[in-house]
Structure formats: structure tokens, C-alpha cells
């Protein structure tokens, strides 16, 4: 069994819990996920199954989209409403200023992971250190926030928002930074991931739906073929005789696929031998001509 499940993670479980549930249900040892969701968050969690786990890195590189709610005037140690309150401020800024400050927190940003996160420092997770009252210095990372939009006020001190961002972006940190910019503090109160790359929440499956389809033998109802989420990369189709050299890591002429390097955008390509998807590759231009080599084999 090889493919990807567009899993609708409920709040209250970790991403690891979700993976373990799918692993036990399908009886597959190789199961992973394409981007951690906080336990309190819900939404799209791509779960790779079988040989599709080898494409994990390419799933992580995609943008994510979120709809959420923040609580203004409150700052906590976890940066969400689950933590200890560190600050309260009843002065809530006007909506125009809130939207203006949100728009200012877009583009390339340097962001440090929150202490209550799964990032490892010295072999330990940050949240493990935080629970012991310890702190650790973590270098900020470059992330890209493509959109941070005000949707509406859902209460006197609550704001619904939308974020589109790159991998590695912590929405809790973004909300905390907004609270600092507004001068009143803010923390995350609700978060739903609505999209991860090509996986959208409208097509996501609950665990009950996956179990029902699996037990009735309808695996195709929830298991997406491994190459479908990679449609952003151009496809190269080679004859059968190219399969063995590709699988052995050899460079082969691009001309065997009937393609021209000038017609391909820079970056990665999907590789097929006849109709069978075999993995992800890249094109290299050399004095001898344009050559193709596998970057990651599916099998």
C-alpha cells in the first residue's frame, strides 16, 4: 500500500498520535506525516503510507494555509490559551490598526520557535525543557508569510484571521509578535489548517471515514497516488530501457524523454518510465548535453 492520506486531524491529539492511528488501522509499518500540527489545532495533515514516505521532504516544502482566532489583551507562556497567563491588558486596539499591523507581518521574517514546541535542542524537545522551567536559546529561522489577513471581530477581544505561509512558520509566534506590535499582547485561541500544498480541507478524511473505507476494501477512496501532490513539478516520461539506469543513480540523456532543457523550469521533475511513476529527479546541464538523474526514488 503506497500513497498519501489527506487526514482531517481533530483537536486534542498530536500529529504523532494521528500517524500511529493510521499505522495500526492499515497495518503498515512505514507511515509518516507532512508537517506537524499542534495538539490543540485541527485540519489537514497529509499522512504518507508505504513507499510514499520517501517523498516526505517534498511535501514539507509546500505552503500551508490556516484559519484561526486570536485573543487580544492576553499573553501566555505557551503563546496560546492553554498556557499560564503572563499579561493582561483591557485596551483593545481599533480594527483598522489590527489589520494594518497584521499586513506588516508579511514577507520574509526571522522567527524563533516557541519554547513549547517539538524543536530539539541538545537532544531534548523544547517543550520538555519548558515543562521543567528551563529555557534554551534557539536561533531564529527565516520563514515566509505570504498573507496575514484580518477577517472579522468575533467578540470584543477576539479576531478571526487567515494566514498563508511557508514551512516552519509558527502561527502562535506570529500572533504573539502581533500582540507585541499592538502593545496589548495576544495569544492563539483556535487554529484550523485548511490547506497543505495541494491537500485541502474540503477533501480531507476523518479517521472514521478512513476506517470505514478500508474495512470495506475501498482503499482508493482515501489513498492519493504518490505523484498527485507533486503535480507542480513537470513530468518526464522515459522508455522502459531507461528505468534500470535511473534506479541505479546514473545520469541519462534528457533527449530520451523527448524533452528540451530550455522548455523546463529550474528545479525538480517527476520521472516516469512509460506510465509508472518512479520518483523525483533533476536536470543537469553539462558540456555533453542535458542529463537527468534521480533525486529520490519511490521504489
- Catalytic residue, chosen from 38, 80, 177, 227, is 38
Segments making up each domain of the chain, as ranges: 3-62+198-228, 66-189, 233-297
If one looks up domain 3-62+198-228 in CATH, what number appears?
Answer: 3.30.2350.10
Q: Does the structure show a pLDDT above 90 at 296? A: no
CATH topology for 233-297 is 2.30.130
Contact 15, 45 (CB under 8 A): yes
Considering the four listed CATH numbers 3.30.2350.10, 3.40.50.200, 3.40.50.2300, 3.40.50.2000, the one that applies to the domain covering 66-189 is 3.30.2350.10
Rounded distance between C-alpha atoms, residue 201 and residue 137, angstroms:
35
Q: How far is CA 96 from CA 101, 161, 164, 211, in A?
A: 9, 14, 20, 46
Rounded distance between C-alpha atoms, residue 207 and residue 26, angstroms:
11
Our answer to whether residue 203 is catalytic in this structure is no
Are the folds of 3-62+198-228 and 233-297 the same?
no
Using pLDDT thresholds of 50, 70 and 90, give the confidence band for residue 59: confident
How do residues 242-278 score in pLDDT, each as one tens digit? 889 888 888 888 888 887 666 776 678 899 988 889 9
How do residues 202-215 score in pLDDT, each as one tens digit? 999 999 999 999 99
Amino acid at each position: 500500500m503506497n500513497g498519501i492520506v489527506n487526514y482531517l486531524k481533530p483537536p486534542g491529539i498530536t500529529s504523532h498520535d494521528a500517524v500511529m492511528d493510521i499505522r495500526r488501522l492499515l497495518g503498515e509499518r512505514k507511515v509518516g506525516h507532512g508537517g506537524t500540527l499542534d495538539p490543540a489545532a485541527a485540519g489537514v495533515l497529509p499522512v504518507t503510507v508505504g513507499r510514499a514516505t520517501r517523498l516526505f521532504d517534498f511535501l514539507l516544502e509546500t505552503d500551508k494555509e490556516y484559519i484561526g482566532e486570536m485573543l487580544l489583551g492576553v499573553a501566555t507562556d505557551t503563546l496560546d490559551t492553554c498556557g499560564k497567563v503572563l499579561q493582561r491588558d483591557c485596551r483593545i486596539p481599533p480594527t483598522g490598526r489590527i489589520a494594518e499591523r497584521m499586513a506588516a507581518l508579511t514577507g520574509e521574517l526571522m522567527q524563533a520557535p516557541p519554547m513549547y514546541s517539538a524543536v530539539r535542542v541538545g537532544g531534548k524537545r523544547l517543550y520538555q525543557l519548558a515543562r521543567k522551567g528551563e529555557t534554551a536559546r534557539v536561533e531564529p529561522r527565516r520563514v515566509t508569510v505570504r498573507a496575514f489577513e484580518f477577517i472579522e471581530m468575533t467578540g470584543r477581544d477576539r479576531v478571526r484571521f487567515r494566514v498563508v505561509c511557508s514551512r516552519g512558520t509558527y502561527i502562535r509566534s506570529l500572533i504573539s509578535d502581533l500582540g507585541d506590535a499592538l502593545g496589548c499582547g495576544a495569544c492563539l485561541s483556535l487554529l484550523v489548517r485548511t490547506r497543505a500544498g495541494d491537500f485541502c480541507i474540503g477533501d480531507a478524511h476523518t479517521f472514521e471515514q478512513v476506517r470505514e473505507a478500508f474495512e470495506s476494501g475501498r482503499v482508493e477512496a482515501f489513498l492519493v497516488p504518490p505523484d498527485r501532490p507533486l503535480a507542480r513539478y513537470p513530468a518526464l516520461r522515459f522508455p522502459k530501457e531507461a528505468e534500470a539506469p535511473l534506479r541505479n543513480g546514473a545520469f541519462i540523456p534528457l533527449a530520451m524523454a523527448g524533452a528540451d532543457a530550455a522548455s523546463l523550469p529550474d528545479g525538480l521533475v517527476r520521472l516516469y518510465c512509460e506510465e509508472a511513476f518512479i520518483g523525483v529527479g533533476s536536470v543537469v546541464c553539462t558540456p555533453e548535453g542535458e542529463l537527468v538523474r534521480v533525486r529520490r526514488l519511490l521504489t
